[in-house]
Amino acid sequence: MNRTKCMTQAVVVAVALTIGVSGAWAELCAKCKDGMYTADSKRCPECKQGWTASGMYQLCKKCSARLGQCERCRAKLEAVKKPSKEVVNPAADEKAKAQELTGAWRLASWVSPDDADKVVAVEFPCTIVFEQGKVRGRAPVNGYGSQEPFTVGAGNSISFGRLMATQMAAADDKLNKAEGRYFQLLEKVKTYKPEKDKLAFMGKDGKQILLFVKQP
Protein backbone atom coordinates (compact mmCIF):
# COMPACT_ATOMS: atom_id res chain seq x y z
CA MET A 1 0.00 0.00 0.00
CA ASN A 2 2.80 2.43 0.96
CA ARG A 3 4.74 1.50 -2.14
CA THR A 4 1.71 2.24 -4.37
CA LYS A 5 1.21 5.57 -2.62
CA CYS A 6 4.84 6.52 -3.15
CA MET A 7 4.68 5.59 -6.82
CA THR A 8 1.55 7.71 -7.27
CA GLN A 9 3.24 10.66 -5.58
CA ALA A 10 6.28 10.23 -7.81
CA VAL A 11 4.10 10.32 -10.92
CA VAL A 12 2.38 13.48 -9.73
CA VAL A 13 5.71 15.17 -9.03
CA ALA A 14 7.08 14.15 -12.42
CA VAL A 15 3.99 15.44 -14.20
CA ALA A 16 4.07 18.70 -12.27
CA LEU A 17 7.68 19.22 -13.27
CA THR A 18 6.87 18.49 -16.89
CA ILE A 19 4.11 21.10 -16.89
CA GLY A 20 6.41 23.63 -15.34
CA VAL A 21 9.23 23.28 -17.86
CA SER A 22 7.18 22.83 -21.03
CA GLY A 23 8.53 24.92 -23.90
CA ALA A 24 6.99 26.89 -26.75
CA TRP A 25 3.38 26.41 -27.74
CA ALA A 26 2.60 23.56 -30.06
CA GLU A 27 1.66 23.87 -33.73
CA LEU A 28 -1.70 22.11 -33.87
CA CYS A 29 -4.44 21.84 -36.49
CA ALA A 30 -7.90 23.24 -35.81
CA LYS A 31 -9.19 19.81 -34.79
CA CYS A 32 -6.47 19.27 -32.17
CA LYS A 33 -6.01 22.85 -30.95
CA ASP A 34 -8.36 22.81 -27.95
CA GLY A 35 -7.89 19.19 -26.90
CA MET A 36 -6.72 17.82 -23.54
CA TYR A 37 -3.21 16.30 -23.61
CA THR A 38 -0.91 14.61 -21.13
CA ALA A 39 2.00 16.64 -19.78
CA ASP A 40 4.67 14.02 -20.49
CA SER A 41 7.05 13.89 -23.49
CA LYS A 42 8.75 11.40 -25.84
CA ARG A 43 11.34 11.20 -28.60
CA CYS A 44 10.04 12.47 -31.94
CA PRO A 45 9.23 9.40 -34.11
CA GLU A 46 10.22 11.37 -37.23
CA CYS A 47 13.73 12.70 -36.46
CA LYS A 48 14.52 10.48 -33.45
CA GLN A 49 16.31 13.46 -31.85
CA GLY A 50 13.82 16.12 -30.76
CA TRP A 51 11.21 15.80 -28.02
CA THR A 52 7.47 16.16 -28.40
CA ALA A 53 5.52 18.65 -26.25
CA SER A 54 3.25 15.80 -25.09
CA GLY A 55 3.41 12.02 -25.05
CA MET A 56 0.29 12.08 -27.25
CA TYR A 57 2.03 14.07 -30.04
CA GLN A 58 3.61 12.52 -33.14
CA LEU A 59 6.10 15.26 -34.05
CA CYS A 60 8.49 17.61 -32.29
CA LYS A 61 8.15 21.32 -33.01
CA LYS A 62 11.02 21.42 -35.53
CA CYS A 63 9.65 18.50 -37.57
CA SER A 64 6.19 20.03 -37.46
CA ALA A 65 7.54 23.30 -38.90
CA ARG A 66 9.67 21.52 -41.51
CA LEU A 67 6.88 19.24 -42.73
CA GLY A 68 4.02 21.68 -42.25
CA GLN A 69 2.13 19.09 -40.21
CA CYS A 70 0.19 19.12 -36.93
CA GLU A 71 2.36 17.98 -34.02
CA ARG A 72 -0.36 15.62 -32.74
CA CYS A 73 -2.12 14.03 -35.75
CA ARG A 74 0.26 15.06 -38.59
CA ALA A 75 -2.55 16.64 -40.59
CA LYS A 76 -1.44 19.38 -42.99
CA LEU A 77 -1.36 22.79 -41.35
CA GLU A 78 -3.26 25.51 -43.18
CA ALA A 79 -1.68 28.91 -43.76
CA VAL A 80 -2.43 31.31 -40.91
CA LYS A 81 -5.27 33.67 -41.79
CA LYS A 82 -6.48 36.73 -39.98
CA PRO A 83 -9.67 35.94 -38.06
CA SER A 84 -12.86 37.36 -39.52
CA LYS A 85 -13.84 38.60 -36.08
CA GLU A 86 -11.68 40.11 -33.40
CA VAL A 87 -10.33 37.64 -30.86
CA VAL A 88 -8.61 39.21 -27.90
CA ASN A 89 -6.84 38.37 -24.69
CA PRO A 90 -9.34 39.44 -22.03
CA ALA A 91 -6.59 40.03 -19.48
CA ALA A 92 -5.02 42.70 -21.70
CA ASP A 93 -7.65 44.11 -24.05
CA GLU A 94 -11.08 43.29 -22.62
CA LYS A 95 -10.96 44.40 -18.99
CA ALA A 96 -14.72 44.43 -18.65
CA LYS A 97 -15.08 40.85 -19.84
CA ALA A 98 -12.10 39.72 -17.79
CA GLN A 99 -13.78 41.13 -14.71
CA GLU A 100 -16.84 38.97 -15.41
CA LEU A 101 -14.71 35.81 -15.47
CA THR A 102 -11.94 36.54 -12.98
CA GLY A 103 -11.98 34.45 -9.82
CA ALA A 104 -12.78 30.92 -8.68
CA TRP A 105 -15.95 29.11 -9.72
CA ARG A 106 -17.42 25.82 -8.45
CA LEU A 107 -19.25 23.45 -10.79
CA ALA A 108 -22.89 23.21 -9.70
CA SER A 109 -24.53 21.32 -12.57
CA TRP A 110 -23.96 19.92 -16.03
CA VAL A 111 -25.97 18.54 -18.92
CA SER A 112 -27.43 15.12 -18.18
CA PRO A 113 -25.60 12.22 -19.87
CA ASP A 114 -29.03 10.71 -20.61
CA ASP A 115 -30.91 13.81 -21.81
CA ALA A 116 -29.21 16.67 -23.69
CA ASP A 117 -32.09 18.99 -22.79
CA LYS A 118 -31.78 18.41 -19.05
CA VAL A 119 -29.26 19.87 -16.58
CA VAL A 120 -28.52 17.92 -13.39
CA ALA A 121 -26.62 18.78 -10.20
CA VAL A 122 -23.14 17.33 -9.66
CA GLU A 123 -22.13 15.49 -6.49
CA PHE A 124 -18.35 15.93 -6.60
CA PRO A 125 -15.98 18.90 -6.09
CA CYS A 126 -14.84 20.57 -9.31
CA THR A 127 -13.58 24.09 -9.95
CA ILE A 128 -12.38 26.45 -12.66
CA VAL A 129 -10.29 29.56 -11.94
CA PHE A 130 -9.61 32.51 -14.25
CA GLU A 131 -6.64 34.62 -13.22
CA GLN A 132 -3.89 36.55 -14.99
CA GLY A 133 -5.39 35.64 -18.36
CA LYS A 134 -5.11 31.88 -17.88
CA VAL A 135 -7.31 29.00 -16.77
CA ARG A 136 -6.66 26.45 -14.04
CA GLY A 137 -8.80 24.35 -11.75
CA ARG A 138 -9.49 21.13 -9.96
CA ALA A 139 -11.34 18.29 -11.69
CA PRO A 140 -12.88 15.42 -9.65
CA VAL A 141 -9.45 13.73 -9.45
CA ASN A 142 -6.69 15.83 -11.05
CA GLY A 143 -5.60 19.42 -11.25
CA TYR A 144 -5.54 21.05 -14.70
CA GLY A 145 -4.47 24.30 -16.32
CA SER A 146 -3.55 26.14 -19.51
CA GLN A 147 -0.09 27.14 -20.64
CA GLU A 148 -1.37 29.92 -22.87
CA PRO A 149 -3.95 32.70 -22.37
CA PHE A 150 -7.61 31.94 -22.86
CA THR A 151 -9.35 34.13 -25.46
CA VAL A 152 -12.78 35.69 -25.81
CA GLY A 153 -14.41 37.16 -28.87
CA ALA A 154 -17.63 38.55 -30.28
CA GLY A 155 -20.83 37.09 -28.91
CA ASN A 156 -19.08 35.94 -25.73
CA SER A 157 -17.22 33.21 -27.62
CA ILE A 158 -14.42 31.65 -25.59
CA SER A 159 -11.48 29.31 -26.04
CA PHE A 160 -9.59 27.91 -23.06
CA GLY A 161 -6.52 27.13 -25.13
CA ARG A 162 -4.56 23.91 -24.71
CA LEU A 163 -5.31 22.40 -21.30
CA MET A 164 -3.13 19.86 -19.51
CA ALA A 165 -3.81 17.79 -16.40
CA THR A 166 -1.95 15.60 -13.95
CA GLN A 167 -2.47 11.85 -14.36
CA MET A 168 -3.69 10.37 -11.08
CA ALA A 169 -6.51 7.81 -10.86
CA ALA A 170 -9.04 7.61 -8.03
CA ALA A 171 -10.00 4.42 -6.19
CA ASP A 172 -13.65 5.32 -6.88
CA ASP A 173 -14.18 4.72 -10.60
CA LYS A 174 -17.22 7.02 -10.56
CA LEU A 175 -14.85 9.95 -10.03
CA ASN A 176 -12.61 8.82 -12.90
CA LYS A 177 -15.62 8.65 -15.23
CA ALA A 178 -16.93 12.01 -14.01
CA GLU A 179 -13.56 13.61 -14.68
CA GLY A 180 -13.41 12.18 -18.19
CA ARG A 181 -16.84 13.59 -18.96
CA TYR A 182 -15.96 16.98 -17.44
CA PHE A 183 -12.93 17.35 -19.71
CA GLN A 184 -15.03 16.28 -22.71
CA LEU A 185 -17.59 18.99 -21.94
CA LEU A 186 -14.85 21.60 -21.52
CA GLU A 187 -13.68 20.80 -25.05
CA LYS A 188 -17.22 21.40 -26.36
CA VAL A 189 -17.58 24.87 -24.80
CA LYS A 190 -18.05 27.62 -27.42
CA THR A 191 -19.65 30.52 -25.54
CA TYR A 192 -20.24 31.70 -21.98
CA LYS A 193 -22.90 33.71 -20.13
CA PRO A 194 -22.16 35.47 -16.81
CA GLU A 195 -25.12 36.34 -14.60
CA LYS A 196 -24.54 37.74 -11.10
CA ASP A 197 -22.80 34.92 -9.20
CA LYS A 198 -23.32 32.31 -11.92
CA LEU A 199 -21.30 31.43 -15.01
CA ALA A 200 -22.82 29.23 -17.72
CA PHE A 201 -20.98 27.62 -20.62
CA MET A 202 -22.75 26.61 -23.83
CA GLY A 203 -21.90 24.25 -26.68
CA LYS A 204 -22.07 24.96 -30.42
CA ASP A 205 -25.87 24.59 -30.42
CA GLY A 206 -26.20 27.29 -27.77
CA LYS A 207 -27.46 24.89 -25.10
CA GLN A 208 -26.03 25.07 -21.58
CA ILE A 209 -23.66 22.21 -20.75
CA LEU A 210 -21.87 23.49 -17.61
CA LEU A 211 -23.00 25.84 -14.84
CA PHE A 212 -20.63 27.23 -12.21
CA VAL A 213 -21.31 29.39 -9.15
CA LYS A 214 -18.89 31.99 -7.77
CA GLN A 215 -16.81 30.91 -4.80
CA PRO A 216 -16.46 33.41 -1.96
150 neighbors 173 (Cβ within 8 angstroms) = no
Query: What does the pLDDT average to over 186-194?
Result: 95
Of the two residues 165 and 1, the one the predictor is more confident about is 165
Of the two residues 132 and 26, the one the predictor is more confident about is 132
Least confident segment among 50-54, 59-63, 96-100 = 96-100
164 neighbors 19 (Cβ within 8 angstroms) = yes
How far, in Å, CA of 203 to CA of 13, rounded? Answer: 34
| pLDDT computed for residue 69 by the predictor | 92
- Residue 26 clears pLDDT 80, i.e. is over it: no
pTM (two decimals)? 0.61
Residue of 70, 71, 39, 69 whose CA lies nearest to 55: 39
- Residue 106 clears pLDDT 90, i.e. is over it: yes
How far, in Å, CA of 90 to CA of 153, rounded? Answer: 9
Residue of 17, 14, 33, 36 whose CA lies nearest to 25: 33
Per DSSP bridges, beta strands 87-88 and 36-38 are unpaired
- Tell me the pLDDT band of 95, cut-offs 50, 70 and 90: low
160 neighbors 192 (Cβ within 8 angstroms) = no
pLDDT above 90: percentage of residues in the chain: 51
| pLDDT computed for residue 13 by the predictor | 35
Residue of 30, 11, 153 whose CA lies nearest to 81: 30
First-to-last alpha carbon distance for the chain, in angstroms, is 37
Amino acid at 183: F
Where are the domains positioned within the chain? Answer: 14-81, 87-214
- Residue 8 clears pLDDT 80, i.e. is over it: no
CATH of 87-214, one of 2.40.128.270, 2.60.110.10, 3.30.413.10, 1.10.10.920: 2.40.128.270
